[in-house]
Amino acid sequence: MKKIPRMIAAALMLALLLSTAGCGSSDGKTHLTFQIWDVAQRDGMQAMCDAYTAQVDPNVVIEVQVTNWNEYWTKLEAAAESNTMPDIYWMHTDQILYYADFGILADLTDLYAGEEDNYYANHFSDISISNASGTDGRIYGIPKDKDNVLLVYNKEMFDTAGVAYPTSEWTWDDLTDASAKVYAATGKYGYMAYNDEQLGYWNFVYQKGGYILDPETNLHAGYTQPATRDAIRYYVDLQKNEWCPDQNYFAETSPGTAFFSGMGAMFLEGSWNLLNEMKNYPDMVGKWDIAMLPRCPDPASGDGRGSISNGLCYSTAAKGKNLETVKEVLKFFGSEEGQRIQGESGAAIPAYLGLEDTWSKSFGDFDYMLDLDQCYGQFDYAIQYINNASRRKWKSNVADEMVKVYNGSDLDSSLARMQELADYYVTE
């Protein structure tokens, strides 16, 4: 009789083992995992994956998994260490050099070798390719999308103040003039200039003709360059105007929150947020629109235009178990068809040249159509998102220094410190 509990225990154990074994595919198909961080793009990504199963290979089924941005990188790095990475995953410009230079990512430079010479160069912009490349210049990701930074403005406030809407010919002076007028007429804030890199001072620096990393080598910082310095000074001092809230305000209320609750007339926004904002603020639909960034009236060099442009890419592990299958999938993700599905789903602007306006389709669902041509047109003035191999080490230190600038510390000594921090890792 004593044996009965043991037999039950053994049966339970067996059941447990069987259930773990069940993770393998039982339907004879290859199951792939695809990790992303943006819930809003899940459906678009899944549509693209389903299209692959339907059109290319019925034996490959891909499942999209979402992990939020903060956990995403911790998890991915741990998975890379234990060689258990998802089959396909999004890669961000901030991280790609770290992963690629360490040999984690599969080299995809020759992915289309048998099909079309110079496939990447023919169908993707230089910026998209650079954002998907390692320090060695090889390609470690299929360009997925691209974005840029736009001026978002509140039409009602402009109407009340009797100010003409922003145009592509606007300069910084027009921006401040309109801000002052809106503030005088409505009591609401004008342009809300807050402490941010991509959605803030980086754009001004490049419009002015300065740089954060020198365009030649991408190694040396340019914080102490006169043009860079002037642009940052200009940007920081915007908060001294009564029509712009100060950094205390922004630390608690993001410009987006302030804008969509009717507290301010303008702020800089990334194109990737626009669709969400149309969805999340239904009461505001029709009351706001987008324009190209105002240009610098007196640039040290260049034409005074510029908008920071970033883009994601699809990557896979160099040591992936399903590498050959995954490569076929990635080929599809980078094809015109794959990129079109992504664009039409509203997920993001396809990196594939010529397909930009497929993204407009999902904006057609709203009563008011945003002037998305402003966004597409601005790719002509796109500045590649700032990044190099050591940036992840100095990024937060430089950001801390910028906080000190806003707290009133001397700009020149802070810029010198930022220069020192960023150049610390340059070895030549």
Partner 1 sequence: MKNKVKLSAAARREENWGWFMVAPTIIGLLVLNIWPFIQTIYTSFCEHLGFGHYRFLGLANYVKMFGNAEFWKATWNTIFFCILTVPVGVALALLVAILLNAKVKFKGGFRTLFFLPLVCAPAAVAMVWRWIFNGEYGVLNQILGANIQWITDPKTAVIAVAIVSVWSSVGYDAVLLLAGLQNIPKTLYEANSIDGAGKIRQFFTITLPMVSPTMFSVLIMRLMASMKVYDLIYMMADETNPALTDMQSLMYLFYRSSFVAGERGYGSAIVVWTVGLILLVTLIQFWGQKKWVTYDI
Instruction: Identify the residue among 81, 110, 214, 336 touching partner 1 (CB under 8 A).
Output: 81
The smaller minimum CB distance to partner 1, of residues 232 and 370, is found at: 232
Q: Give the span between the Cα atoms of 87 and 97, in whole angstroms.
A: 19
* Residue 395 token pair: 């990024």
In the complex, minimum distance from the CB of residue 277 to partner 1, in angstroms, rounded to a whole number: 19
Interface with partner 1 (CB under 8 A), residue from 407, 410, 412, 425: 407
Residues written for the chain: 428
Which segment (35-43, 158-166, 241-249, 373-381) binds partner 1 by CB under 8 A? 241-249
Q: Which two tokens stand for residue 344?
A: 């039409």
- Output 73 or 363, the one with its CB closest to partner 1: 73
333 counts as binding partner 1 under rule CB under 8 A: no
> Between 164 and 403, whose beta carbon lies closer to partner 1?
403
For partner 1, which residue of 400, 413, 424, 426 counts as binding (CB under 8 A)?
400
247 contributes a contact to partner 1 by CB under 8 A: yes
For partner 1, give the closer residue by CB, 135 or 407.
Answer: 407
- 308 forms beta bridges with 383
Helix (H, G, I), strand (E, B) or coil at 347: coil
- Report how far apart, in Å, the C-alpha atoms of 198 and of each of 169, 173, 195 are: 22, 21, 10
Does 395 participate in binding partner 1 (rule CB under 8 A)? yes
Binding mask 82-101 for partner 1 (x = CB under 8 A): ----------------x---
The secondary element (H helix, E strand) that includes residue 55 is helix 42-55
* 47 phi and psi angles, rounded to 5 deg: -60, -40
Under the binding rule (CB under 8 A), the answer on residue 193 touching partner 1 is: no
Strand partners of residue 266? 153, 191
- If one asks whether residue 67 binds partner 1 (CB under 8 A), the answer comes out as no
Q: Which of 45, 80, 152, 312 is in the footprint of partner 1 by CB under 8 A?
A: 80
CB nearer to partner 1: pick between 65 and 396? 396
Helix (H, G, I), strand (E, B) or coil at 147: coil
Residues 6+ apart with CB under 8 A from 283: none
Asked whether position 11 contacts partner 1 by CB under 8 A, the answer is: no
**Site residues for partner 1, window 366-385 (CB under 8 A)?**
none
- Which of 264, 270, 209 is CA-nearest to residue 238? 264
CA distances (Å), origin 412, targets 85, 223, 232, 401, 409: 44, 9, 10, 11, 9
Is 403 a binding residue for partner 1 by CB under 8 A? The answer is yes
CB-nearer residue toward partner 1: 233 or 395: 395
Q: Which residues contact 306 (CB under 8 A, 6 or more apart)?
A: 203, 206, 207, 293, 295, 381, 382, 383
Residues 165 and 310: their CA atoms lie apart, in Å, by 27
What angle is formed at CA 121 by the lines to CA 115 and CA 127, rounded to 5 degrees? Answer: 140
**Contact range with partner 1 by CB under 8 A, out of 45-53, 242-250, 309-317, 353-361:** 242-250
Which residues in the 248-307 window bind partner 1 by CB under 8 A? 248-253
* Contact between 423 and partner 1 per CB under 8 A: no
Q: Rule CB under 8 A: is residue 102 a binding residue for partner 1?
A: yes
Cβ within 8 Å of residue 125, ≥6 positions away:
146, 351, 353, 379, 382
Please tell me whether residue 145 binds partner 1 under the rule CB under 8 A.
Answer: no
Q: Which is nearer to partner 1, 71 or 336 (CB)?
A: 71
Cβ proximity to partner 1: between 70 and 301 the closer is: 70
Q: If binding is defined by CB under 8 A, does position 393 make contact with partner 1?
A: yes
Closer to partner 1 at the Cβ: 98 or 314?
Answer: 98
- Taking the C-alpha atoms of residue 311 and residue 305, their distance in angstroms, rounded to an integer, is 20
Residues touching partner 1, count (CB under 8 A) = 29
State which of residues 124, 172, 183, 194 lies at the interface with partner 1 (CB under 8 A).
194
Joined tokens for residue 255: 């410009």
Instruction: State which residue, 80 or 108, has the beta carbon closest to partner 1.
Output: 80
- H/E element, 185: helix 172-186
CA–CA dist 61, 78 (Å, integer): 25
By CB under 8 A, name the binding residues for partner 1: 73-74, 77, 80-81, 98, 102, 104, 194-196, 247-253, 392-393, 395-397, 399-400, 402-403, 406-407
